[in-house]
């Protein structure tokens, strides 16, 4: 009857405090005996169904089990909040020959619990909406809410968040692949054609004045066109960078 004793102990702690306790040691006691209490109620409900207990008896036992389950989860939430207030301390174990003062202890050493247990309790406390959802779902299924169910939902949420990040990155990459930077080649050719047209019109004047002879020749046009092409390429790169930065915002 260890499980029944654990359940009664939880009820006694809550009754004594007239609510869920606020001291870390009392909350840890509820969390510690919680699994035994849960096992007791689940086993009892199965036996009651097998021996043909009345619906009223089963419902009363289920209600007690649900209440215990909710108290354990609430204790996990409050305990996790207290754990988060404990400084982390240095990473790893203190050196063998160094004095083990409070400032040198790691967080698990200060609390006196394994790091995994602390991490699980803190995760539960950071997701009160999931705790509430697990309670509601358990009632709807005539079941008892558990810590395992909460941790599974938290893990699922984290997985989905990771997938969403991956999808967002893939979406941006897809957009970048589809997005074609504005082509400046067409404009370069148009400029070149326009300059050729100007030259063809001015060519008949070649030799009539010293100005046209020295300035309006093919070499001058070619140099001007090269400078213009370089400028176009520079503008083209700037436009590509601006477009990429806009898409990644």
Half-sphere exposure of 32 (CA within 13 A, CB side): 12
94 and 197 housed in the same domain:
no
Model confidence pLDDT, tens digit, residues 216-241: 555 666 666 676 677 667 666 766 66
Separation in Å, CA 90 to CA 95, 102, 110, 114, 115: 11, 11, 11, 15, 13
137 and 204 housed in the same domain:
no
146 and 190 housed in the same domain:
no
Residue 157 has pLDDT above 50, yes or no: yes
195 and 108 housed in the same domain:
no
Nearest CA among 115, 180, 127, 175 for reference residue 151: 127
189 and 72 housed in the same domain:
no
Q: What is the mean pLDDT of residues 65-84?
A: 95
Nearest CA among 232, 231, 190, 195 for reference residue 216: 195
**C-alpha to C-alpha distance for 26 and 80, rounded to whole angstroms:** 13
pTM above 0.75, yes or no: no
145 and 195 housed in the same domain:
no
Number of domains present in the structure of the chain: 2
Q: Which domain-ending residue is among 147, 173, 199?
A: 173
Q: What is the mean pLDDT of residues 179-198?
A: 65
99 and 217 housed in the same domain:
no
Give the domain extent around 77: 2-173
Q: Which domain-ending residue is among 152, 173, 194?
A: 173
Q: Which domain-ending residue is among 157, 173, 189?
A: 173
Residue 248 has pLDDT above 60, yes or no: no
Nearest CA among 66, 118, 127 for reference residue 89: 118
**C-alpha to C-alpha distance for 36 and 240, rounded to whole angstroms:** 64
Buried b (16+ CB within 10 A) or exposed e, 189-209: eebeeeeeeeeeeeeeeeeee
- Are the beta carbons of 62 and 142 closer than 8 angstroms? yes
3-class secondary structure, 1: coil
State the pLDDT at residue 212. 47
134 and 186 housed in the same domain:
no
35 and 105 housed in the same domain:
yes
- Are the beta carbons of 233 and 184 closer than 8 angstroms? yes
159 and 209 housed in the same domain:
no
**C-alpha to C-alpha distance for 221 and 196, rounded to whole angstroms:** 9
State the pLDDT at residue 196. 72
- If one counts every other C-beta atom within 10 angstroms of the C-beta of residue 78, the result is 20
41 and 60 housed in the same domain:
yes
The length of the chain, given as a count of residues:
249
Relative orientation angle of helices 147-178 and 218-248, to the nearest 10 degrees: 170
């Amino acid at each position: 009857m260890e499980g029944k004793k654990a359940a009664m102990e939880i009820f006694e702690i809550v009754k004594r405090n007239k609510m869920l306790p606020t001291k870390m040691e009392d909350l840890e006691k509820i969390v510690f005996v919680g699994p035994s209490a849960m096992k007791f109620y689940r086993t009892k409900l199965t036996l009651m169904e097998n021996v043909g207990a009345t619906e009223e008896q089963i419902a009363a036992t289920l209600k007690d089990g649900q209440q215990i389950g909710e108290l354990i989860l609430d204790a996990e939430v409050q305990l996790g909040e207290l754990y988060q207030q404990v400084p982390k301390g240095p990473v790893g174990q203190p050196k063998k020959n160094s004095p083990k003062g409070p400032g040198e202890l790691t967080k698990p050493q200060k609390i006196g619990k394994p790091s995994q247990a602390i991490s699980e309790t803190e995760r539960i406390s950071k997701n009160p909406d999931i705790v509430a959802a697990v309670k509601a779902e358990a009632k709807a299924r005539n079941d008892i809410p558990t810590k395992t169910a909460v941790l599974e939902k938290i893990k699922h949420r984290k997985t989905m968040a990771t997938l969403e990040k991956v999808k967002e990155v893939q979406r941006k990459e897809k957009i970048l692949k589809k997005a074609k930077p504005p082509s400046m080649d067409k404009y370069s050719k148009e400029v070149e054609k326009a300059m050729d047209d100007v030259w063809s019109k001015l060519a008949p004047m070649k030799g009539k004045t010293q100005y046209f002879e020295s300035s309006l020749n093919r070499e001058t046009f070619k140099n001007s066109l090269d400078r213009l092409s370089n400028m176009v390429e520079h503008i083209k790169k700037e436009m590509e960078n601006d477009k990429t930065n806009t898409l990644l915002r």
